[in-house]
Amino acid sequence: MTPIKSTAVPAKPGQTAAKPTPNRLEAKLSHLLGARKGTIVVMRVTDGRLLAVVNPALAAARAISPGSVMKVPTLVAGWQEGVLNPHRLIPCAGPTGDPACWEVHGNMDLKGAISRSCSCYVGMVGRELGAKRMTKWWRKLGFGQRTGVDLPNEVPGYLAEPGDRVAWADTAVGEGPGILATPLQLVSFYGAIANGGQRWRPNLHKPKALLGMLFPVSGGLDLAVLRQGLSEAAISGSAKGASPADLIVAGKTGTASMPGFKNRTSGWFAGYAPANRPQIAIVVELDDAKGFIHAVPLAKQVFETWQTEIRLPSPS
C-alpha cells in the first residue's frame, strides 16, 4: 500500500479540540480506547446529535485514508451514474486482481461485494465511473468538505482532482493519496444509510441541520440492498464479530496505510445499530491497527456500552 499524506489543523492558542466535560457514555468509551491512539464517534441517526466523541481532534481535525469503509460511497456513485445495479455480476480474481482483493470471490453482485468487501468489484466500478463522476458524487455525499460540526479546527479532507495522476481504481476502494476523509464525514454518511437517506450535520449543541438527502429520489437507489450488504458483513462477512449477543448491527471495516509510513495501517469500522431500526451510527478508527482484527472488537464494545447506557426503546 502506498504511504499517504494526512491533513490536520493544529489548535489555535487557547483553543482545544477536546470537549470540556465528557458525558457518561463518552467517559466509558474513552476508558475502552485506553492508551491506544484513535477515535470513537457515536451519532444519533435521527438528527445528527453526537452522543460521544472520543479524541475530537482525531475525529474532526485530521483526515486520513479511509480504506474499505469508502467502498460504499463509491458503489453509491456507481449506482447513481448507471454503472451498476443490484444484479450485475463482476468477477473477482483475488490477490491477482487490480486492485488486489483479499481473497478470490468469483462473480460478485452488489450485496456480496459489500458484505465480502470485494476490492475487484469496487475497483471495476471506479474505473468505469472515471475520476470526474466519482469525485462529483463523493462531494455530493459529503466528502472533501467540512460537515459544520461545532468542534474546533474541522478539516475538509481531500479529494484528488480528475486530472491528477493517481491510481483511480485504488482511490475507489479508499486507498492511496486520492481520498482523505474524517471520521465525522463517515459517521454522517453511514448515518444517512441507516435513517433512510437524510445526511445530518453532526452536532453537539447546534440546532439540527439537514445537509441534504443522500440519494436523490430520481436516482432510484434502493437503500435496502446497501443495508442488507452491511448487515451480512456484520453477520458472516468482513465485519463479523461486531454484534453483541442480543443486538444485530450493520457495518463495514477498513484497513488503510498510515500517513507517511509504508508498513503501518489504520483500522476502521463504520456502521449502525440496531440493523433493523437504527438509532445510532458509529465510527471507530485506530492507528497502528487493522479493521477486522482490532476495530471490530472495539466496535462491539462500543455497541455493548451504548446498550447499557442510553439505548432507547425501539419504536413500535
**Amino acid, res. 291:** G
User: Who wins on pLDDT, 154 or 316?
Assistant: 154
Lowest mean pLDDT of 25-39, 70-84, 96-110, 125-139, name the range: 96-110
Indicate the average pLDDT of the chain: 88
Alpha-carbon torsion 97, 100, 101, 103, what sign?
positive
Q: How far apart are the first and last CA of the chain?
A: 47
pLDDT range class, residue 2, cuts 50, 70, 90: very low
Residues forming a β-bridge with 210: 200
**CA 208, CA 313: separation in Å to the nearest integer?**
22
**CA 58, CA 239: separation in Å to the nearest integer?**
23
Contact 238, 252 (CB under 8 A): yes
pLDDT range class, residue 128, cuts 50, 70, 90: very high
For 74, the grid coordinates are: 463509491
* pLDDT tens track for 277-301: 999 999 999 999 999 999 999 999 9
> How many C-beta neighbours within 10 Å does residue 34 have?
8
What integer pLDDT is reported at residue 311 of this predicted model?
Answer: 66
Lowest mean pLDDT of 2-16, 34-48, 294-308, name the range: 2-16
Contact 201, 62 (CB under 8 A): no
**Domains detected in the chain:** 22-309 (3.40.710.10)
> How many C-beta neighbours within 10 Å does residue 35 have?
4
Q: Which helix (H) or strand (E) holds 74?
A: helix 71-80
Contact 298, 32 (CB under 8 A): yes
Lowest mean pLDDT of 29-43, 103-117, 254-268, name the range: 254-268
